[in-house]
Amino acid sequence: MVKILIQKEIVSRLPESIKALKLPRQQETEVEVGQLIIGWHEGKLALFSKGSGPVYVDFVEGKAAHRRQFGGGKKQPLARAIGLSSKTTPKVIDTTAGFGRDSFVLASLGCEVTMIERSPIMAALLQDGLDRAAKEPEIAEIMRRLSVIHADATDYLNDINPVQVVYLDPMYPEKKKAAAVKKEMRLLQQLTGPDLDSALLLEAALKKAVNRVIVKRPKGARSIEGQRVSSEISSPNTRYDIYNLKAL
């Protein structure tokens, strides 16, 4: 199990979700093998690990900005899978938020998206990213359509009223060569652990969604066991399994 440390000087600025963890604290950012440290990097809440730079959530620049500007709008595979059209802009629950990039794309296309993240640390990074992005005039309206909740997604779905669309992006199987896995995904794997309950999450999603459930899978991977997939949409490296509840 990975050991996580919090820099002592930042504790007063941390979200309550991390304060509640009561983790050990240290002042320096020197990281030993097998450790993650939560700290600040240029005003951003970040994770530090041995041999790599800080990892944080950024909705303003980088990949998120590129996808917002050049992702293909409502014609891109994710938007089509969700059911976005000129007449339909569904509300979406993203049950496996991660770094929030897919949720941000959907919000940039007009959807209200609730991001669920069971790792309190990842949820805190997301909230920090939301708070910073909300101050940017260019995307402030987009950010108002995004929210994050720290919860187990299966439990959350079981407790809420029906929702239009539920989105799942379970952790992809870990690659044999660690070098082939990007540092962000390695950290996410360390925080959330292996995918052991996607079948249960899919079952809960199918019971709660009104229109459809979408499951993001690596191209060529098997679908999650259980309900038969209604249709699919593929891109070069990804496949979206669509469970159309109105067709079942």
pLDDT score, position 28: 45
pLDDT tier at 29 (50, 70, 90 boundaries)? very low
State residue 173's pLDDT score. 56
What's residue 70's pLDDT? Answer: 59
Rg of the chain over Cα atoms, rounded to whole angstroms, equals: 18
Q: What is the mean pLDDT of the chain?
A: 82
CA dist 240 and 78 (Å) reads: 7
56 and 41 in contact (C-beta within 8 Å)?
A: yes
Q: Is the pLDDT of residue 246 over 50?
A: yes
pLDDT in tens, 94-144: 999 989 999 999 999 999 999 999 888 888 889 989 999 999 999 999 999
Residue 197: pLDDT over 80: yes
Which phi and psi (to 5°) does residue 226 adopt?
A: 130, -130
Residue 201 CA to residue 224 CA, distance in Å, equals: 10
If we measure between CA atoms, which residue out of 227, 112, 111, 196 comes closest to residue 242? 227
6 compared with 214, residue with greater pLDDT: 214
| pLDDT value of residue 33 | 46
Helix (H) or strand (E) holding 63: helix 62-70
By the 8 A CB rule, do 150 and 185 touch? no
Select 62-247's CATH number: 3.40.50.150, 1.10.3720.10, 3.40.50.300, 1.20.58.100: 3.40.50.150
Give the model confidence (pLDDT) of 57-94 as tens digits: 999 887 777 677 655 678 899 999 999 988 889 999 99
Would you kindly state where each structural domain of the chain is located, as residue ranges? 3-55, 62-247
Higher pLDDT: 202 or 118? It is 202
Q: What is the pTM of this model?
A: 0.84
Do the strands 3-7 and 35-41 form a parallel or antiparallel pair, or are they unpaired?
parallel
